[in-house]
Amino acid sequence: MIEDKNQQRTALSKLGEFGLIDHLTASFKINQSTTVKGIGDDAAVITCKNKQLTVTTDLLIEGVHFDLSYMPLKHLGYKAVMVNVSDVYAMNAEATQITVSIAVSNRFPLEALDELYDGIKTACEIYNVDLIGGDTTSSTSGLLISVTAIGQAKKDDIVYRSGAKPKDLLVVSGDLGAAYMGLQVLEREKEVFKVNPNNQPDLEPYTYIVERQLKPEARKDIVKLLKDLEVKPTSMIDISDGLSSEILHLCKHSKVGCDLYEEKIPLDPQVISTCEEFNINSTTVALNGGEDYELLMTIAQDDYPKIKANPNLTVIGYMKEAHEKAHLITRANTAVEITAQGWNGLSE
């Protein structure tokens, strides 16, 4: 982490745990009517109003999930919230509340945590979720962030990974591979900086893909779009670990196979040009890169007319019987079995 030596540094020990929590959360407002009690008691209180709750948790660890040499703390706070609400939207639900717990080493002053929580607050405002609790503790190994997101939906609206049927269409929102290529650019510039600290990186040609890595967005808009189009997916998942892994999750839980068409995979021109620059196959990046946080879903063929003209959604394949397994149909019309080579959080 690059630090300004003239920057004010307030030791966390000056505030103590409860003083730190009070300080970091003082400016957060309650927006959801379902939040009865937020921060300030032994537990938060949420009312449900005839809906079902969804709950999801992610843990982000410095050196494993993020690198503070190029990830600004404000962006990190924003992303930590975003990756969790994305899982809620993947259930076709509305994200309503979050809790945030952090473990932090003494190399972080209060001002650094203010930056982190500024990003958390921005995400709360944009995604209209309430911060209702969490914990703070010390760490001997850098920064750890755990966010739990709570959402709600009517029972009949919730979409699971297990509902896909043979002949359903495989549909994805947005475009794929940008976050991974943004990471490649940032890692390259980090190595250049190590050799020559006076060399300032020119990231202008890579604006889109770098932003997709540092400040991705969860597709809350797609959940609303599907409701407006009167389309309820038969199954859905968010793309955090790579398209190939997510397709296999849908196939496993729904007990179906799949044909994915290479030529249909949506790629941004900046992804294609950067893949050429790095001499990386763009299809491999889309399949295995991860962190796109787009929504991957299956829909009944009868719903195709409702989505076919929509620029936010792309049909990339269709589901088959389980014994036919999952295959990538290449541009040369060759079937290649899909294997999971995306992000593995437990890899050495």
What integer pLDDT is reported at residue 7 of this predicted model? Answer: 66
What integer pLDDT is reported at residue 24 of this predicted model? Answer: 80
Tell whether 256 and 281 lie within a shared domain.
yes
Tell whether 241 and 213 lie within a shared domain.
yes
Within a domain: residue 162? no
Q: In the chain, how many domains are there?
A: 2
What integer pLDDT is reported at residue 5 of this predicted model? Answer: 46
Tell whether 211 and 133 lie within a shared domain.
no
Within a domain: residue 348? no
Tell whether 319 and 183 lie within a shared domain.
yes
Within a domain: residue 210? yes
Within a domain: residue 238? yes
Tell whether 137 and 196 lie within a shared domain.
no
What integer pLDDT is reported at residue 31 of this predicted model? Answer: 87
Owning domain of residue 143? 12-157
pLDDT of 49-85, one tens digit each? 889 999 999 999 999 999 999 999 999 999 999 999 9
Tell whether 140 and 235 lie within a shared domain.
no
Within a domain: residue 244? yes
Residue stretches of the chain with pLDDT short of 50:
1-6, 343-346, 348
What integer pLDDT is reported at residue 346 of this predicted model? Answer: 43
Tell whether 92 and 58 lie within a shared domain.
yes
Q: For residue 8, with 0-12 CB atoms within 10 Å meaning exposed, 13-18 middle and 19 or more buried, which class applies? A: exposed
